[in-house]
């Protein structure tokens, strides 16, 4: 990407790997909502694109070379790639919350290049083997799945809980399936677009609620033990405090276009709500491998269309022009 809505193809040397790294030939890379924001607007929240930047951070590929200290991987292994490499030495890393590492190098977050490219050198411990029953396309979707799993990790779910998920886009669907993977029986999915609700229903939501009508939330007030906000919308963010039961938990995942949003803090206090921000993830790829391998979480159903790396601009434009029904656009690299 070189300027807004402009892609340029460049030749780059194949990277040289360090002793703890592997060289990965990329196979499938999904387009994330943040990629689309950078492409369209050059920014998302406080992350701003200032020079040429390779987008793409949802990736899977094949190992073609291993560093000399790498023991658990070998050439030919098929791997899903975790895209953020923390410094491993700061307070956050050493206490197990490396997603908050201030020095993390996260693909396609300016100025770190992403992986709409052919090869990448990557630390072995951020590569996760996938079995042959899991495709590269599915492996690339472990990244948004990890966002959902992390949000759920924070929620302390129990099987009998009533759970609400606001938003049924990629992250909403990933969150929905993560909730179900913890054995939760009653999940209600909310969205403004019916095609997305249909997918939510198909993938296990007990109820779906169309939020076109602004009154649609009211009948669910005080209904949910846990509410997940994935829509990144000021209105749905505001409704979370109404929807949750006294003593319940809200997890905010979706960033909104404006920083400041209204919340009924009095109600949050008298209902004694716990509200948690959830940002990226830590240590969720092993869980993703297990759940997808066991068939407990379905990823193929989320792919709306497949493109090649040469069709990258086309893939982005398709995603933008079909935002009412596209869940995931996939780019395959040959």
Give the footprint of a copy of itself on this chain (CB under 8 A): 20, 45-46, 88-100, 102, 123-125, 158-160, 180-183, 185, 237-238, 246-247, 252-256, 259-279, 282-283, 286-287, 289-291, 294, 296
Q: DSSP label at 189?
A: E
- Structure tokens given for 60: 């899977």
Positions of E strands within 57-197: 58-66, 78-81, 84-85, 105-106, 119-123, 127-129, 162-166, 186-191
What is the nearest approach in angstroms of a copy of itself to the Cβ of residue 232? 9
Shortest distance, position 228 Cβ to a copy of itself, whole Å: 12
User: Smaller CB distance to a copy of itself: residue 21 or 116?
Assistant: 21
Bridge partners (DSSP) listed for residue 84: 106
Least distance to a copy of itself, CB of residue 159, Å? 5
How many Å apart are CA 4 and CA 267, to the nearest integer? Answer: 42
323 close to 18: Cβ distance less than 8 angstroms: no
What would the two tokens of residue 69 be? 């200290």
Give, for 152, the enclosing helix (H) or strand (E). helix 142-153
Give the total residue count for the chain: 334
Q: Which two tokens stand for residue 156?
A: 């302390």
Of 181 and 329, which CB lies nearer to a copy of itself in the complex structure? 181
Q: Which pairs with CB-CB distance under 8 Å and at least 24 residues apart come from 263-270?
A: 263/237, 263/238, 264/238, 267/241, 267/242, 268/241
Closer residue to a copy of itself in complex, CB, 173/184 = 184
Minimum distance, C-beta of residue 282 to a copy of itself, in the bound complex (Å)? 7
Distances (CA, A) of 320 to 27, 42, 190, 317, 325: 23, 15, 21, 5, 10
Closer of 275 and 320 to a copy of itself (Cβ) = 275
* Contact assessment for residue 45 and residue 149, using Cβ atoms and an 8 Å cutoff: no
User: How far, in Å, CA of 24 to CA of 27, rounded?
Assistant: 9
| Minimum separation from the CB atom of position 163 to a copy of itself (A) | 13
* Residue nearer to a copy of itself on the CB measure, 117 or 236: 236
CB of 253 to a copy of itself, least distance (A): 7
| Least distance between a copy of itself and beta carbon 118 (Å) | 26
Which is nearer to a copy of itself, 109 or 329 (by Cβ)?
109
Q: Which of 21, 148, 2, 109 is nearest to 72 (CA)?
A: 21
Would you say 8 or 16 has its CB closer to a copy of itself?
Answer: 16
Smallest separation (angstroms) from a copy of itself to the CB of 129: 14
Q: Which C-beta is closer to a copy of itself: that of 5 or that of 94?
A: 94
Give every CB contact of residue 294 below 8 A, 6+ residues apart in sequence.
Answer: none
């Amino acid at each position: 990407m070189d300027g807004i809505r402009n892609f340029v193809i460049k030749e780059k040397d194949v990277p040289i790997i360090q002793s703890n790294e592997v060289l990965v030939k990329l196979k499938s890379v999904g387009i994330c909502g943040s990629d689309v924001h950078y492409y369209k607007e050059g920014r998302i929240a406080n992350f701003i694109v200032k020079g040429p930047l390779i987008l793409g951070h949802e990736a899977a590929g094949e190992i073609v070379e291993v560093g000399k200290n790498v023991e658990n991987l070998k050439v030919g292994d098929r791997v899903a790639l975790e895209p953020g490499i923390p410094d491993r030495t700061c307070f956050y890393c050493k206490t197990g919350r490396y997603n908050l590492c201030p020095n993390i190098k996260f693909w396609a977050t300016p100025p770190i290049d992403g992986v709409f490219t052919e090869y990448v050198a990557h630390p072995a411990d951020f590569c996760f083997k996938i079995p042959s029953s899991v495709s590269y396309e599915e492996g690339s979707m472990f990244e948004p799945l990890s966002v959902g799993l992390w949000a759920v990790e924070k929620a302390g779910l129990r099987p009998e809980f009533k759970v609400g998920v606001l938003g049924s886009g990629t992250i909403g669907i990933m969150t929905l399936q993560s909730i179900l993977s913890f054995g939760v029986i009653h999940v209600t999915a909310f969205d403004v677009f019916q095609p997305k609700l249909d997918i939510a229903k198909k993938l296990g939501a007990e109820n779906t609620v169309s939020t076109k009508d602004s009154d649609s939330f009211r009948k669910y007030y005080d209904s949910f033990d846990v509410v997940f906000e994935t829509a990144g919308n000021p209105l749905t963010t505001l409704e979370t405090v109404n929807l949750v039961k006294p003593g319940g938990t809200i997890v905010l995942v979706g960033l909104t276009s404006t920083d400041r949003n209204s919340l009924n803090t009095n109600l949050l206090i008298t209902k004694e709500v716990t509200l948690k921000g959830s940002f990226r993830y830590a240590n969720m790829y092993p869980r993703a491998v297990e759940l997808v391998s066991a068939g407990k979480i379905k990823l193929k159903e989320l792919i709306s269309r497949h493109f090649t790396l040469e069709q990258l601009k086309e893939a982005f434009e398709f995603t933008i022009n079909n935002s009412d029904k596209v869940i995931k656009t996939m780019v395959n690299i040959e």
